[in-house]
Amino acid sequence: METKTRENWSSKAGFILAAAGSAIGLGNIWKFPYSVGTNGGGAYVAVYLLFLVLIGTPLMLAAITLGRKTQLSVFGAYKSIDKRWSFVGFLAVICGFVILAFYSSVGGWVLYYFKNAVTGNLNTKDPQVLAGIFSNMMNSPATLIVYQLIFMALTMLIVINGIKKGIEVTSKVMMPGLFILLIIIAIRSVTLEGSMEGIKFLLVPDFSKITLEVAKNAMAQVFFSLSIGMGVMITYGSYLDKEVNLLSTAVSIPALDTLAALIAGFATIPAVFALGFEVGEGPGLMFITLPAVFASMPLGQIFCIAFFLMVTFAALTSSMSMLEISVSYFVDELKKDRKKSTLAVGIVIFLMGIPASLSLVQGSSFYIGSLSFFDIYDKLSSNILLTTGAFLLSIFVAWILTTKEAVKEIELSGIRFKLAPVWSFLVKYVVPVGVFIILFNSYKDFIIALLN
């Protein structure tokens, strides 16, 4: 019987761009700026950076190491070392389904807005008109579902072509393009008159604003943004050659991710302050406030088109990684054909996403307790499944695989891991305790919201 050779990345740069593409998505461009605005500005940024260093980066190294050691999908990675832990891999596959179900809905909004930017419909300074465009979109079931379908079709088209010809090639084009567009917009934003207040809001922390809720939101943002708890990095790491330096890789991805989030903050928040808009707008910041900001600038329509093109790139580089988690499970574990698996999984996720989209339509009955299906998918994935997955990953690598074995895998490429004792201590003790505290409160809040 002929054994099919498993795909690998064609280069380390290709892997880093793809992994960074997974990490750099709507979590950076859409969620991070509005989370900064609604969680106290610089205080939220400070807590986010602390969690990134103490929890996010150590877990990134743990995930990539586990993936490369086993050379298997996230489900197979856990199963191959200890069958009793197979459920963690399955949890990651489920998490990918749930996240992409609501993420594809927002991806559809981005495509809709890109079209409107190109046609000039967003070229107005009037927030009322822009709020009307957003409201019309949110109250049109056909618009929401059609654009969600287009977004999922684009995602499936990339993944169906595999690692080298699909995900890697797309990432090599989209990621540099994303950074170039983001930097151009950020430069324009910080050079607007009155932008300094926005820069201060973003960078100067008021530590009195740090609460457990801010900490919980910052932790969820780290996991959502870095794609750790859902198994993307285990899956992507499984396609790495043994010669690749895992240390530099595990640092490069969070660094690029954080850089993108901060540049996105500079691209939006100073401009919002400079032009007198509300920084605490929340999720509507990108769709209502920013188009008005662009319309207030010289060459505003060009900046608006560039921005939503960039957000489309970011959304797709993340969505294709989420789809790959599930597809790799069917290809690796069940030995199914990649094309058929991609189509089947993509269709199921699209169908799961329809209630999420429709739950946002005014008068919708797609609610459980006080939460819409969209909010349920969001909170279930971001605050529950991702955090649970990250907690179990740290326990597994620290105590089941053991950090000693993980360090051996890290040093296979011929490097000396001088900070191995520090990393081992963080993964064994600091990460699980820190994540568990946030996780406990997330479970409690989610259950209360469902019951109310």
Rounded CA-CA distance 129/60 in Å is 43
What's the rounded mean pLDDT across residues 408-437?
A: 92
Rounded CA-CA distance 340/160 in Å is 8
Beta bridge partners of 368: 371
What's the rounded mean pLDDT across residues 199-226?
A: 86
What's the rounded mean pLDDT across residues 292-316?
A: 82
For the chain, state the CA radius of gyration: 21
Reading phi first (left if > 0) and then psi (alpha if -120 to 50, else beta), residue 402 is in left
pLDDT at residue 96 tops 50: yes
**Residue of higher predicted confidence among 297 and 92:** 92
Model pLDDT for residues 340-373, shown as the tens digit of each residue: 999 999 999 999 999 999 988 888 888 888 888 8
Cα 124 from chain centroid?
Answer: 30
Q: How high is the pLDDT of residue 5?
A: 56
Rounded CA-CA distance 217/210 in Å is 11
Rounded CA-CA distance 304/185 in Å is 9
Of 232, 283, 286, nearest in space to 100 by CA: 232
pLDDT at residue 152 tops 90: yes
Name the class of domain 12-451: mainly alpha
Which element (helix H / strand E) includes 372? strand 371-372
Residues 449 and 367: beta-carbon distance below 8 Å: no
Q: How high is the pLDDT of residue 38?
A: 86
CA torsion sign for 320, 325, 327, 332 is: positive
pLDDT at residue 3 tops 50: no
**Residue of higher predicted confidence among 125 and 289:** 125
Residues 59 and 390: beta-carbon distance below 8 Å: yes
DSSP 3-state assignment of 367? strand
Of 397, 386, 400, 398, nearest in space to 438 by CA: 386
Delimit the domains of the chain by residue range: 12-451
pLDDT level of residue 2 (50, 70, 90 thresholds): very low
pLDDT at residue 1 tops 50: no
What's the rounded mean pLDDT across residues 110-128?
A: 90
**Residue of higher predicted confidence among 392 and 307:** 392
Q: How high is the pLDDT of residue 160?
A: 84
pLDDT at residue 149 tops 60: yes
Q: How high is the pLDDT of residue 121?
A: 92
Could you tell me where the DSSP H helices lie in 165-299?
Answer: 169-190, 196-203, 212-226, 232-237, 246-274, 289-295
Rounded CA-CA distance 236/163 in Å is 9
Q: How high is the pLDDT of residue 25?
A: 74
What's the rounded mean pLDDT across residues 93-108?
A: 89
Model pLDDT for residues 74-87, shown as the tens digit of each residue: 888 999 999 999 99
| pTM of the entire predicted model | 0.83
Percentage of the chain exceeding pLDDT 90: 33
CA torsion sign for 330, 335, 339, 343 is: negative
The overall average pLDDT reported for the chain is 85
